[in-house]
A and B are shown apart, each in its own frame.
Chain A
Amino acid sequence: MLEFLLSALILTGAAFTFIGSLGLARFRDFYTRLHGPTKATTLGVGCLLIASSIHFSVDGDLSLHEVLVTLFLFMTAPVSAHLLAKAALHIKAKSLAPTPDEGSGQPPHSS
């Protein structure tokens, strides 16, 4: 029974991680590409870590390392995504959507 649950979690996690990476290939501009690998992977890695935690906790001692991994991932992934986006805005990367002004954050003039 547990085996099935763990397999389901791992497969779901793998599927989400894969779909997230697929976004990198399918999307058209930098900003939309950013969404795939940084986000769909949140849930993907989350599932894998839950599976790992359950597996090792049932096997022997309680294993909560994974909570820490999740915590640090949730704290750092958004920061790197934010910095990547900010850098892209700074070098004026090609964008499908009209980009805002860098200093004031004002919306783009309609063009």
Chain B
Amino acid sequence: MKRLLPHPLLTLTLAVLWLLLVNTFSAGHMVLGLLLGWLIPFATRSLWPQSVCIRNVPVLLRYLVVVMHDIVVGSFRVARLILGRPSSLRPAFITVPLELKTDLAISLLANTISLTPGTVSVLVSDDRRTLTVHSLDTEDAAAMVAEIKHRYEAPLKAIFESC
């Protein structure tokens, strides 16, 4: 089973991607999508050393909603900062200590931080212990670190690192 179907989640994702790509939902394309979804991970399995496991689907869904919400709210904040006086900005580099261990979770955290407006992840330290973030307007660095850890890191840890 493991040999024949190395990454069931990836298979499903690729099938859905294929359906979106061809923009039709006929049975033929579903079969073709599933076939591609099986063939591609199978042919490239040496590129995927660790299998991804996802626990806590409700947490994952809530996480997506939180991120969407933060993107919208953050966009308005950044828009206001751009239209305001540039000299009143307080840019800063903030160091976030990482509790996440797996590469996937760390990259997702960095991606989320960059996606939400007002912060860009700049650097993961060589030992993977800290993540440096550039913030456009910093009022309280410690509060910001706490927010990142609470809003993004904790759910990611629950989703990807509990198995």
Per-residue A-contact encoding for B54-71, CB less than 8 Å = 1, 0 else? 000000000000000001
How many A-B pairs have beta carbons closer than 8 Å: the answer is 141
Whether B39 is near chain A, meaning CB under 8 Å from some CB there, is no
Residue among A28, A39, A67, A106 with the most chain B CB within 10 A? A39
Q: Assuming A68-B21, A85-B120, is B95 touching A106 (CB within 8 A)? A: yes
How far, in angstroms, from A30 to B21 measured CA to CA in the complex? 36
Name the residue of chain B whose CB is nearest to the CB of A29.
B91
Per-residue B-contact encoding for A37-65, CB less than 8 Å = 1, 0 else? 01110111010000000000000011111
Task: State the interface size on chain B (CB cutoff 8 A).
Answer: 44
Give the residues in chain A near B134, CB-CB below 8 Å: 31, 34, 85, 97
How far, in angstroms, from A111 to B129 measured CA to CA in the complex? 24
Residue among B75, B118, B121 with the most chain A CB within 10 A? B75
Q: Which of B23, B71, B114, B117 interacts with A64 by CB under 8 Å?
A: B23
How far, in angstroms, from A39 to B98 measured CA to CA in the complex? 24
Instruction: Provide 6 A-B residue pairs closer than 8 Å at the C-beta atoms, listed in order of the A residue.
Output: A32-B136, A36-B82, A68-B20, A78-B113, A82-B110, A96-B91
Tell me the B residues contacting A by CB distance below 8 Å: 17, 20-21, 23-25, 71-72, 74-75, 78-79, 82-83, 86-87, 89, 91-93, 95, 110-118, 120-127, 129-132, 134, 136
